[in-house]
Amino acid sequence: MSSPTTRESTREAFVQTELAGMPRRLFRASPSRLLAWVDCPRRYRMQYLDRPAPAARSQRAHTSVGVAVHNALRDWWDLAPGERTPQAGAELVRTSWIETGFRDVAQSLEWRTRAQDQVTAYLHDVDPGEQPLGIERTVSLKTSVLALQGRVDRLDDRPDGLAVVDYKTSRVAPTDDDARTSLPLALYAAAAWKMFRRRCVRVELHHLPSGSVAVHEHTGDSLKRKIDEAESIARDARRAEQDYAEFGTDSGRFPASVGPLCQWCDFRAHCPAGQAAGPEKSGWAALEAPVAVPRGDLRD
């Protein structure tokens, strides 16, 4: 349970923003934070509100793969144009590799080789001279409700406008419908459009294991609908956080969303409801079969 001192200071911060005549404080969040609320309010509370935060389980292998690949593709653009070869990308995977979460050294080496092969194949189709507008670029967007900040894997400056590119390393290839429905991609596009004053409606999911690209072209109206969706989530989360400021972990606004994803949750050790949903998945389970894992457990 949160300490009285912590609850009192949090409550006071909320009260100060509600004084008559003062503008309402914007709800600050990233797309991943908003989706964490949608996925499971209990996990959201433990991850973002509880202090001290409950200890999370160690990183899983599929996350280690994703982080290493993302880092390699980021660092590749820091090389001189003449050094940006597919083989250089493979070497960057090797030097950025993370051993955490694998069953053993042999499995780690097997997946490092796979990741190197995937990055090599992907970079064969990337023009090293076409410098993106942004790599791991932080973008932000403010509305009357929300102050949003997130990080785009790659932001391309193309003749018909900006394009948001997101790398994926999961076993299952994303579809065009995944690109269409993705809340983070839409919010990144809206933020980039506002920041750079250039039209940005195209979002792409680049899946390295298959080499496929899932694409969606938004419109101004569809981006507005996604912003409205984000604001609705933010309002719900704000109300819950205000209740938390009053009641701490006794608040009833953070139920566990019990289901198969509980087997993957980083905080299941602190959630009896989640533990009852089934045995915990191993650190390398996502490498062995196409399965759904929590969105907060992925590199987005």
Q: What was the pLDDT predicted at 297?
A: 44
Cα–Cα dist 180/18, whole Å: 37
- For 70-120, what is each residue's pLDDT tens digit? 999 999 999 999 999 999 999 999 999 999 999 999 999 999 999 999 999
Distance between alpha carbon 62 and the CA centroid of its chain, in Å?
A: 14
HEC string of 202-233 equals EEEEEECCCCEEEEEECCHHHHHHHHHHHHHH
Beta bridge partners of 168: 207
Q: What are phi and psi of 50, to 5 degrees?
A: -60, 135
Beta bridge partners of 148: 29, 141
Yes or no: say if 167 and 69 are a contact pair by the CB < 8 Å rule.
yes
Q: What was the pLDDT predicted at 298?
A: 42
Q: What are phi and psi of 55, to 5 degrees?
A: -65, 130
Q: What was the pLDDT predicted at 200?
A: 98
> Nearest-5° angle of CA 260, CA 171, CA 208?
145
Residue with tokens 């660092």: 75
Q: What was the pLDDT predicted at 149?
A: 97
Positions in the chain short of pLDDT 50: 296-300
Q: What was the pLDDT predicted at 24?
A: 79
Cα–Cα dist 172/62, whole Å: 12
Yes or no: say if 102 and 284 are a contact pair by the CB < 8 Å rule.
yes
* Strand, helix or coil for residue 168: strand
Yes or no: say if 290 and 172 are a contact pair by the CB < 8 Å rule.
yes
Yes or no: say if 148 and 31 are a contact pair by the CB < 8 Å rule.
yes
Q: What was the pLDDT predicted at 87?
A: 98
Q: Domains in the chain and their CATH numbers?
A: 51-131+257-300 (no CATH), 134-227 (3.90.320.10)
278: left (phi over 0), alpha (psi -120 to 50) or beta: left
Cβ neighbours for 40, distance < 8 A, ≥ 6 positions apart: 256, 257, 261, 265, 294
Compute how many other C-beta atoms are within 10 angstroms of the C-beta atom of residue 18.
Answer: 10
* Strand, helix or coil for residue 136: strand
Q: What was the pLDDT predicted at 3?
A: 58
Q: What was the pLDDT predicted at 147?
A: 98
